[in-house]
Amino acid sequence: MSGREEEEGGEEYLFKIVLIGESAVGKSNLLSRFARNEFDNNSKATIGVEFQTQVVEIHGKEIKAQIWDTAGQERFRAVTSACYRGAVGALIVYDITRRSSFDSIKRWLDELSTVARMVVGNKCDLENIRDVSVEEGKSLAEEEDLFFMETSALESTNVQTAFEVVIREIYNNVCRKAL
Ligand code: GDP
Ligand code: MG
């Protein structure tokens, strides 16, 4: 692996991205869907933080996205805020069937300002028990000048796209401006 950069003569990019939001909104499943194309119905609550690295190609450049999955519980707050350090992107996730998880989005937003932030309304496969409308999600994102997308980790809807939009935005803002 280590000789690769010289062989190809290209730069390497490593973007740290964090997944935040309340417990059980689907953060771990969004990550496993994106990184391994897997969904786990019985996923245990994440303890502390863990990350996965996924390589994405943007404008012909290989970008390593290091995505940190955090636990939403208050008792892990110390661990999670340490994990924000150095993050350039964030997906702030709520569950479209649980209004309380949407209401807490602003609190999560206050905790970090990264280059690219996207509000993600997950579980859009559960239309029949929807509790937050698409419009509400959109207007919150507009107010705060953020990207917005509804996803389903279960049905694999928009998961790839959501991560890629964030990664592309980071690339456009950080790497190209630096040139
Ligand atoms: P986390 O605590 O935010 O990491 O959430 P998890 O990924 O552990 O998911 C919490 C629960 O929601 C689990 O029972 C998942 O099976 C379920 N879940 C996650 N994503 C989806 C989704 O897109 N659709 C549906 N229907 N359930 C989901
Ligand atoms: Mg989790």
pLDDT of residue 14: 93
- Ligand positioned closest to the Cα atom of 150: 1
- Ligand positioned closest to the Cα atom of 20: 1
Q: What is the pLDDT of residues 18-62, one digit of tens each?
A: 999 998 999 999 999 999 999 988 777 776 678 899 999 988 889
Instruction: Provide the 8-state DSSP code for 157.
Output: B
Query: Average pLDDT in the 121-125 region?
Result: 98
pLDDT at 9 over 80: no
- 125 in ligand 1 pocket by Cβ < 6 Å? yes
- Do residues 152 and 158 make contact, with C-beta atoms less than 8 angstroms apart? yes
Residue 149: pLDDT band (50, 70, 90) is: very high
pLDDT of residue 76: 67
- Do residues 48 and 71 make contact, with C-beta atoms less than 8 angstroms apart? yes
- Do residues 114 and 16 make contact, with C-beta atoms less than 8 angstroms apart? no
Within the chain, how many helices (H) and strands (E) appear?
A: 8, 6
- Do residues 111 and 82 make contact, with C-beta atoms less than 8 angstroms apart? no
pLDDT at 90 over 70: yes
Closest CA to 28 of 81, 86, 87, 73: 73
CA neighbours closer than 13 Å in the CB half-sphere of residue 121: 28
Residue closest via CA to ligand 1's atom 25 equals 123
- 101 in ligand 1 pocket by Cβ < 6 Å? no
% of residues, the chain, pLDDT over 70: 84
pLDDT at 129 over 70: yes
Single pTM value for the model: 0.90
pLDDT at 93 over 60: yes
pLDDT of residue 3: 39
Say how many Å lie between the CA of residue 121 and the centre of ligand 1.
Answer: 12
Residue 96: pLDDT band (50, 70, 90) is: very high
Residue closest via CA to ligand 1's atom 18 equals 26
Q: What is the mean pLDDT of the chain?
A: 87
Residue 97: pLDDT band (50, 70, 90) is: very high
